[in-house]
Amino acid sequence: MMSKQRSSFFMHIPPLLQLLLLPPILLLFMALMVSALDNYTRADFPADFVFGAGTSAYQVEGAAFEDGRAPNIWDTFVRANKDNYNGATGDIACDEYHKYKEDVQHMVDTGLEAYRFSISWSRLIPSGSGPVNPKGLEYYNNLIDELIMHGIQPHVTLYHMDTPQALEDEYEGWLSRNMVKDFTAYADVCFKEFGDRVLHWTTINEANSLAIGGYDNALSPPGRCSLPFGLVCPKGNSSTEPYIAAHNLLLAHSSVVKLYNKKYKATQHGFVGLNIYAPWFLPYTNTTEDLIATQRAIEFYIGWFLHPLVFGDYPDIIKKNAGTRIPVLTPHESKLVKGSFDFIGLNHYATFYIKDDTSSLKMEIRDINADMGGSIMYEPGDSSQDQDNGSSGLYEVLEYLKKVYANPPTYIHENGQRTVRDGTLNDTERVKYMHAYIGTLLDALKNGVSNTKGYFFWSFLDGFEVLGGYEYAFGLLYVDLNDKQLTRYPKLSAHWYSNFLQGRSIRTNEITEVVNGTFGSSKSQASQ
Ligand SMILES: *[C@@H]1O[C@H](CO)[C@@H](O)[C@H](O)[C@H]1NC(C)=O
Ligand SMILES: *[C@@H]1O[C@H](CO)[C@@H](O)[C@H](O)[C@H]1NC(C)=O
Ligand SMILES: *[C@@H]1O[C@H](CO)[C@@H](O)[C@H](O)[C@H]1NC(C)=O
Ligand SMILES: *[C@@H]1O[C@H](CO)[C@@H](O)[C@H](O)[C@H]1NC(C)=O
Ligand SMILES: *[C@@H]1O[C@H](CO)[C@@H](O)[C@H](O)[C@H]1NC(C)=O
């Protein structure tokens, strides 16, 4: 049916125009075919549930040395670890700093209801503390206004791996308690300047993987570690620093929540939460050892932050295995941290398998991974990191949060699929991935096992990725880096999401009827 329609459509069009029209038309037809998977629509979700997509400042903004933005630890990290990135940097990235109006238009075309982005601390307050940069203020005001003008909710992350370099140099960033004061003062500026229009604030993105990536295995800024863990680092202590950084992250987060509640909540009526990396874990085999190791992994990844936030202390197993290397939450700190959130942000990509490895607990020098006493495995027989192992892990994470942490309000802040950035727009695998995960989320909502308020796809654009820079892509839109204009091209996944969000999803049994409808309304998209 597809090829028949295409040939009759093409008969009346000159050959050259046919060639130009081919890619968008193909995408439309592919979108229709893939939509045939759907057995749910946007209308099955609550009306106040929000769907969006996300990015972070360093990964898309560019303009790294423009208009008063000062360096942060990302700028330093990519230069110190050129091999990780083939020498690439986020200096220009997607240039969203200059192209934000165009990007908001793409969001409108995709039907996004919300955009999750982060504020670059060193763009707004270049030295980390002290005077505000008027150009930085202007940029975020413009971006927020542009979003609101188009009916797109801004969901703002205050910190996404980018400590101002000045604070890293002065007192080693998250290793110091000084961060609590400076981060709170920075958040105060953001609430004061943007809080009249921004209702959803996330203090810190992936607090747990930041502590591990930044201070244990050195895969992300500030890239600290010590032997025998991680890469070879000039500075660091993988045994202690992840726990210290995590402790200061918790204190800084709760201090910001306290500030918001005291000074802004009554007038701005917004919500403040913390975000964690939340994979799901299954036992590698069904031996008792692997089952217990899997429970440990869940406590080390999810409980590390959620246990203090909900109960005011770290999980017993972490305290036991880390011993004196994990700071004690004093009664005063515990009181501050406990209950300090309106929602929990979850970045969920995949399910992994855990193999017991308690021999690591006998090692004299241990990092957090050794304290966990288990190895993270991908699918048995498949060593690919891109293996997502199905969407049921998302259901299980949400069910776990309900059971153990009293069903907190959550946002799925990131969910997405990594592919090699080869310029293909035909990302059918990504469409299947989105379809499966959004469907699983709907099941979780319908069965009452989750209190999820929104879903954000990672990512809106093919940006500068934490692992691998521009080698890999997660975007709904491809950004052509060989083109000076950095032109954006919607992938099949963007078309699918757009159809879904605009209520044009197709139920298998209604396909003929809806194919006509979708094709009609998609024509205008193709001609834009
Ligand atoms: C859609 O189909 C899948 C697979 O058959 C099923 O698990 C899911 O519950 C269905 N969702 C809805 C909303 O019917
Ligand atoms: C890390 O810190 C601990 C506790 O202070 C210390 O015993 C250990 O020697 C340090 N390791 C390194 C590599 O500096
Ligand atoms: C472990 O048992 C569960 C439940 O019986 C089963 O679904 C799963 O496939 C088993 N896992 C392995 C690795 O054998
Ligand atoms: C798109 O990708 C799918 C699966 O990878 C493949 O079956 C299909 O033929 C591709 N379509 C085009 C037009 O390349
Ligand atoms: C859809 O298109 C087919 C083929 O062009 C046509 O026969 C059919 O009547 C159309 N259906 C609707 C509901 O418009």
Best probe residue, ligand 4, of 21, 424, 426 (max atoms within 8 Å of C-beta): 426
Rounded Cα–Cα distance for residues 1 and 18 (Å)? 19
Q: Is 146 part of the annotated catalytic residue set?
A: no
In this structure, the residue with its CA closest to atom 13 of ligand 3 is 285
Pairing verdict, β 351-356 and 114-118: unpaired
For residue 22, pLDDT over 90 is answered with no
How much of the chain, in percent, has pLDDT values that exceed 70? 86
CA of 276: how far to CAs of 133, 423, 430, in Å? Answer: 29, 30, 23
Atom of ligand 4 nearest to the CA of 26: 13
Atom of ligand 5 nearest to the CA of 515: 1
Token code pair at residue 359: 């021999």
pLDDT digits (tens, 9 = 90+) for 207-261: 999 999 999 999 999 999 999 998 789 999 999 999 999 999 999 999 999 999 9
Which ligand sits nearest to residue 444's alpha carbon? 1
In this structure, the residue with its CA closest to atom 12 of ligand 5 is 513
Q: Which of 328, 308, 339 is nearest to 244 (CA)?
A: 328
pLDDT digits (tens, 9 = 90+) for 149-190: 999 999 999 999 999 999 999 999 999 999 999 999 999 999
| pLDDT level of residue 88 (50, 70, 90 thresholds) | very high
Atom of ligand 4 nearest to the CA of 426: 1
In this structure, the residue with its CA closest to atom 12 of ligand 2 is 237
| pLDDT level of residue 502 (50, 70, 90 thresholds) | confident
Rounded Cα–Cα distance for residues 506 and 174 (Å)? 48
What rounded mean pLDDT belongs to the chain? 89
Averaged pLDDT for residues 285-298: 97
The pTM score is: 0.88
Rounded Cα–Cα distance for residues 33 and 431 (Å)? 11
Rounded Cα–Cα distance for residues 61 and 463 (Å)? 9
Atom of ligand 1 nearest to the CA of 443: 9
CA of 124: how far to CAs of 89, 118, 185, 186, 307, in Å? Answer: 21, 11, 12, 8, 32
Q: Is 41 exposed, middle or buried (CB count within 10 Å of its CB: 0-12, 13-18, 19+)?
A: middle
What is the domain partition of the chain in residue ranges?
A: 2-516
Backbone angles phi, psi at 286, to 5 degrees: -95, 25
Please give the CATH architecture assigned to the domain spanning 2-516: Alpha-Beta Barrel (3.20)
Q: Which of 168, 164, 218 is nearest to 189 (CA)?
A: 164
Token code pair at residue 526: 């193709």
pLDDT digits (tens, 9 = 90+) for 445-462: 999 999 999 999 999 999
42, 500 contact by CB (below 8 A)? yes
Chain length of the chain: 528
Give the residues across from 374 on adjacent strands.
356
Backbone angles phi, psi at 457, to 5 degrees: -80, 140
37 or 228, which is more confident: 228
Q: Which of 305, 398, 292 is nearest to 348 (CA)?
A: 398
pLDDT digits (tens, 9 = 90+) for 407-427: 999 999 999 999 999 988 888
Q: What is the pLDDT of residue 222?
A: 98
Q: How much distance in Å is there from the Cα of 513 to the middle of ligand 5?
A: 7
Q: What is the pLDDT of residue 528?
A: 23
How many Cα neighbours within 13 Å face the side chain of 24?
13
425, 490 contact by CB (below 8 A)? yes
Cβ of 513 closer than 6 Å to ligand 5, yes or no, is yes
In this structure, the residue with its CA closest to atom 7 of ligand 4 is 428
323 or 506, which is more confident: 323
Q: What is the pLDDT of residue 377?
A: 81
* Residue carrying structure tokens 């008063």: 68
Token code pair at residue 13: 């069009």
Q: How much distance in Å is there from the Cα of 200 to the middle of ligand 2?
A: 39
